[in-house]
Amino acid sequence: MRNRKTRSQLAQQLVFVGPSTVFFIIIIVIPFLLGMYYSFTDWNGVSGKAAWVGLDNFKQIFTSDTNFRTDFWFTVRFTVAGVVLTNLLGFFLAYFLTKQLKSRNVLRTVFFMPNVIGGLLLGFIWQFIFVKGFSAIGEKTGFSFFNLPWLGDETTAFWGIIIVFVWQTAGYLMVIYISSLNNVSHEILEAAAIDGASKAQILRKIIIPLIMPAVTVCLFLAISWSFKMFDLNLSLTKGGPFGSTESVALNIYNEAFANNRYGLGTAKAFIFFVIVAVITSLQVKLTKSREVQS
């Protein structure tokens, strides 16, 4: 009887979990392992032969590839600004849209909609806005803000990508924060208000500690999105002007598919994977340690 029950449970696991496991291995695990192998070769991505070069690709990246270091520094700066601004905007949108507003459901939909649009399409739309829309507004109003060379200068192009990134992703984080804020007990908030706590004190001392699980998730998502940002970078600036806004993801893409140095590109991708994995693991560990234990 016990053996029959064990076989039945095994059959259920194979039926429900087996197909997804097979697809995960084919789509994720095998390409990852192949990428690790090719990172130790000089394969060009086309020929059937890939000569083993050992650690030469990694030595080249750390010693002579200045573009990779420059692009990594840009990605770090972009990630810091993007993560902070996206989470701040997402949280405050959620905070105000959990109030008793008649139009809050409509506003939630409006703020979430940019996340539905694909990154490439969104980038081309905002490229038109920066180049044509802002200049037209600047001519009509005379405001210097709209007459800036938004995609033609290193500083303004950086902040242009930040604006589009925050505009696209803040709505998604807003939904997560709304879900967490709705679970905060109103009795606790009312008791704190009766005891004389100000709104700022309630927000800082009660609400934020209670929604730390949502903060952990939102920080993890924002860090991952920022580091892996590719489509907005490609459609908005293509890494320009003069490579000043090229992200690591775009650098890897150009190395592998434009320069036909697939081995070097996968070596960069492997290094990038390790760095992002370490940073996100530390972030999750740090924020989880600040979560309120129920």
Lowest pLDDT segment from 3-7, 65-69, 214-218, 281-285: 3-7
Q: How many domains does the chain have?
A: 1
Q: Report d(CA 121, CA 106) in Å as an integer.
A: 24
The confidence score (pLDDT) of residue 226 equals 95
CATH of the domain at 156: 1.10.3720.10
Does the residue 2 lie in any domain? Answer: no
Would residue 25 count as lying in a domain? no
Q: Is 125 exposed, middle or buried (0-12, 13-18, 19+ CB in 10 A)?
A: middle
- Angle, vertex CA 214, rays to CA 233 and CA 94, nearest 5: 75
> Residue 138 domain-assigned?
yes
- The answer to whether position 160 is within a domain reads yes
pLDDT of residue 118 exceeding 90, the answer is: no
Dihedral pair phi/psi, residue 151, rounded to 5°: -110, 5
- Residue 257's domain comprises 66-288
Establish if 111 belongs to a structural domain.
Answer: yes
- pLDDT tens across 184-198, in order? 888 888 888 888 888
pLDDT at position 214 is 93
pLDDT per residue as tens digits for the range 251-263: 999 999 888 899 9
Instruction: Decide if 269 is inside a domain.
Output: yes
Kind plus residue range of the DSSP H or E element containing 28: none
Residue 142 confidence class, pLDDT cut points 50, 70, 90:
confident
